[in-house]
Amino acid sequence: MKLSNEAKVGLMITIGFTIFIILVGMLAKINIARTGYTLRVYFGFLNDLRQGAPVKIGGGIKIGYVSAISQSGEKTEVTLWVENKYKLIQSSKFAIFTSGLIGEKYVNIFIPPSAGAEEFFKDGDKINGLDPASFDQMMMTFQSFMQNESGGQVLAEIFQNSKKFVMNLNKITDDNRHDIRQTIMSAKDMVANLNFQSKIMMGHVNTLSKNLSDLSEKNKDDISITLRNLSEISTNLNKITFRIEKGRGTLGRLLNEEDIYNNLKDASLAAKDLFRELKQDPSKLLFRSQN
């Protein structure tokens, strides 16, 4: 079925109006799908809190928003809408905080540790909130303090002490101007000397490195030959040790055959006795040779 131009225009207007209503509902924080309850919190100072501002637990979890602000006697009534799934114990504290230094204002709920079974806030309960400290209030307090006689005296003493401190600092600087200048000059000389010595040291290190490099380059062949000779000597020593352990050669037999070793030992002892007798009486050698 074909739609006429009027029907098309009417359908587009209806769709646009529906979208507009939904957007207005979202911007106005009208909760269609969620259910919640309202709490009335009274503050003496709002610090520029606006309708629609978020309500958070511990400055983090958003649990609702400010649905209305109205004046009620000396206090300002702030109506909070809170989701049903968040139950707040009656010892909770309500205060107005700021996100960052100059950010958005929001209602912060501090829930203290529960001391036992406590009752929860119900829909429509009235609560006294904690008033935030503003910069204007602090300035008014400071101004009131300064207008007081004691405040002016304290400020005068602060300025007087500051003046004395600056004068003493200037006097110390003037009295020790020569020493300070000498210290600075000594420090400059020391730094210059260190730079000079470091340059000399680096020159020596570079020279030593170059000499070592030249020496190793010049004696590269000799070093190679020496290493090869040491390797051959090590190989020969291994062979000799192996032959001695196997009893090969004269030294090997002497070390490994016990009879030969004992005979050599006896002969050595006999020769030792003979030399001792000849030393004591050399004439024995002559008589023995005549016989």
> Is the separation of the CB atoms in 112 and 91 below 8 Å?
yes
- What are the distances in angstroms from CA 265 to CA 197, 244, 274? 70, 20, 14
- Per-residue confidence (pLDDT) for residue 207, from 0 to 100: 85
By CB atoms closer than 10 A (0-12, 13-18, 19+), residue 95 is middle
Confidence at residue 82, expressed as pLDDT on a 0 to 100 scale: 95
User: What is the model's pLDDT at position 143?
Assistant: 65
Amino acid at 150: S
CATH class of 34-132: mainly beta
- Six-digit token string for 61: 């979890």
Name the one residue in this structure whose structure tokens are 């009656």. 90
The number of angstroms, rounded, from the C-alpha of 220 to the middle of its chain's C-alpha atoms is 51
Q: What is the DSSP string of 66-133?
A: EEEEEEETTEEEEEEEEETT---BTT-EEEEEESTTT--EEEEEE-PPP-SS-PBP-TT-EEEPBPPP
CA dist., res. 269 & res. 273, Å (int): 6
Instruction: Measure CA 248 to chain center.
Output: 72
Full pLDDT tens readout for the chain, 291 residues: 566 777 777 778 888 888 888 877 666 555 555 689 999 999 988 888 999 999 999 888 999 999 999 998 889 999 999 999 999 999 999 999 988 767 789 999 998 887 667 789 999 999 999 987 666 556 656 666 666 656 567 667 777 788 778 887 877 877 787 778 888 888 888 888 888 888 888 888 888 888 777 776 767 777 777 777 777 887 877 777 776 666 666 656 555 566 666 766 777 777 777 677 766 666 655 555 445
The answer for residues whose C-beta is within 8 angstroms of residue 95's C-beta and 6 or more apart is: 107, 108, 110, 129, 130, 132
Q: Domain coordinates of the chain in residue numbers?
A: 1-30, 34-132, 138-174
Locate 32 and state its tokens: 């269609």
Exposure class string for 207-242: b at 16+ Cβ within 10 A, else e: eeeeeeeeeeeeeeeeeeeeeeeeeeeeeeeeeeee
